[in-house]
Structure 1
Amino acid sequence: MDVLIVGNGAREHALAWKISQSTLLGKLYVAPGNAGTRDLATNISIEVEDIDKLLSFALENNIDFTIVGPEIPLSLGLVDSFQEAGLSVFGPNKIASQMESSKVFSKNLMQKYDIPTAKSMVFSEYNDAIKYLASSKFPIVIKASGLAAGKGVFIVNSFNDGEKILDQLLRKKELGDAGGEIVVEEYLIGQEISVFAFVNEKYISELVAACDYKKAYDGDLGPNTGGMGAYSPPKLEYWNDDIKSEVLSKVMLPVVDAMVSEKIRYTGILYAGLILTDNGPMVLEFNCRLGDPEAQVVLPRLNGDFLNILMEIVKNQGSQSSLSWLEEECVGVVLTSEGYPEKYSKGYPIRGLEQQNKDIMVFHAGTVWDQVSEAIVTDGGRVLTLVAKGKDRGLVRDQVYSYVDKITFEGSTYRTDIGV
């Protein structure tokens, strides 16, 4: 069976790594891929936004199954286009993917079906939003409704700070269409966790959870990023049978049922970003794909033929026996370019990758093979995710960090408190 994976991040490298273990796999392609995926698959130079070219490639190369990694092609309707052409593809269609691409859509759905979430208001006009802000208690949260690569959420501690954010989003349009509509919601206190399930209209898999680190610097300081590291499973006080049962019954199952009631076919990954409050788990956001860096610490724990599992879900099948999660700890640390998430330079050679270590998984993100120097060089803000797996989180964490300094490139930065 020939498979196409769409995307070029560490998540897609992890997907390719897991899919490559399937006994069903024939040829594997990744579009556009990175320097890591080229060791497992054939990279195809097509960007994730170019739905027409991706479709043409899939048809011309008789691709049997396509897996969509990032959110942008989902929001652009890649799944719809592939299905209309008679191709099998894993991921929610354009309407269903509004659970991620429109926070207004997901908020409305949660409110309609009593799924626990923060109280909120929606605005598209600056004057209306500023009036509401003037009467609000702080801190408060302002979110761009559309896709903003994890950088559209702002915790506001004063009216003046909020005024600046509203000006940036609604007047200056600094996030473009993504910030043309905003959600202003109450600030919730608690531990955040990411919860994932593989779902279709008739099936929801066993849940799996992870904790990620969004801030750029140690101690959760600095600007938001796409993610600086993660570990799975969360600590026992954040993820146990009681919490898992509550999340399943109050969040995940109601969303799947709501989609059926709304006559929206949701097939793919349902990712709930939750916060564990004194009043129980509450939804911060929904996403329609595996998180990054969460995928890098979740997929190594997946037990089963991953390709077969995804195919069953697309066929509107699925059984609890086909998917389970290993009782092991995974810790992943992201190496980034100096300056990320703001301005950074690219093109620096990465040294140390040739030092193979069977206990460390290296998932590439912002990397590319430079044909001139015949070396792997940096090509993005988040460059690599280093992952280790074992029975004890402390020992696993030590393994990862003992390897971090062996892989070097100019300006390499990372957090030192992942998994503490």
Structure 2
Amino acid sequence: MRTVVVIGGGIVGLATAWELTKRGLDVTVLEKEEHWAAHQTGHNSNVVHAGLYYKPGSFKARMSTAGNRSIVDFARQYGVPVEVCGKLVVATSEAELPALKVLAERAEANGVPAKLITPSEAREYEPEVSCVAALRVESTGIIDFAGVCAALVRLLDESDADLRLGTPALGIRPGRTGGVEVATGDDVIHADALVNCAGLHADRVARLAGLTPSARIVPFRGEYYELKPERRHLVRGLIYPVPDASLPFLGVHLTRMLDGSVHAGPNAVLALRREGYTWRDVSAKDLAEVARFPGVWRLARKYAYPTGLDEVRRSFSRRRFAESLARLVPAVTEDDIVRHGSGVRAQALRPDGALVDDFLIETARNQVHVLNAPSPAATSALEIAKHIADEVTGQAVS
């Protein structure tokens, strides 16, 4: 039986491990933290994306539209909470109408069920919303992604996969008789193939394995607020702004969760360490690495002012955050929101300063490295897993 080591215990790593076991491979999963879904998977907005934002034909477009169906089916089959509630993308000014129309065209090209609607039709879904037009997207949903991971762990246990928490990969080298060897500190694992799903550390794991990745991970923190319980009635479902097409972030939005709470966010600021969930989380090593990377400085010249500065100001100002929300729902005020944690996005950046927009998967002999899998990777996890498994088993089609 062929053996595979998967590094990373988030949703992409666990989904990949499960797909490989279904194909008859013997799988070991290494997760450096003491619990599964510890970082990106466990700190996101739990939205099942529909696939309307992404360039037709891209990895993201194909995998998110297929993933929208497969992740919902998986949740229903294995008892994970999920609700397909739909969402509104709202244009709050005439200037945003062309971009909203482009989104509608992308939705159609990607096979996403969506339609342009009038302000009065939008208020039938969201009575408090303010817009000049909106795009209604029917297939967007809310799910418990940590619950999906728990279900995957149960399935992997039943398949006799070797699941190791608290086990970082410390060294990777070609095996003496083929395959790869992964040193963990406790032992050396011999396997026929390696799959790197390390998220925030994916580029470091790739370099550890001898690969020179084409992009570097730069961490961006997204901070969330939530509406106070007595103000949750202002939002029935999901309300998104028209995004800036030049950025990979969707903008501050409002999301009703499965428990009835309403989350607001996230913004996007440079994190001061790879796992920097607050401004107090600082790593001199991580900052030095960022400072030495020319792509960061080229990105900063393009976006630091006013976009980056506005995001930092919003990070420190509840009033500014509330003002962003009030563009969508005017009734929301500074007094209506309270802080509610944050997440860190592993964003791949090229040396020329270009943000990697699509999923990025690179291969070497007996190795597959997932080097860019931010949102909608959780939605697409089961589809990404199939692609990776095809690469491992030599069946991938370019």
Q: Work out whether the TM-score is over 0.5.
A: no
Q: With structure 2 as the length reference, what TM-score do the two structures score?
A: 0.33
- Pick 1 or 2: higher relative contact order, CA cutoff 8 A, min separation 6: 2
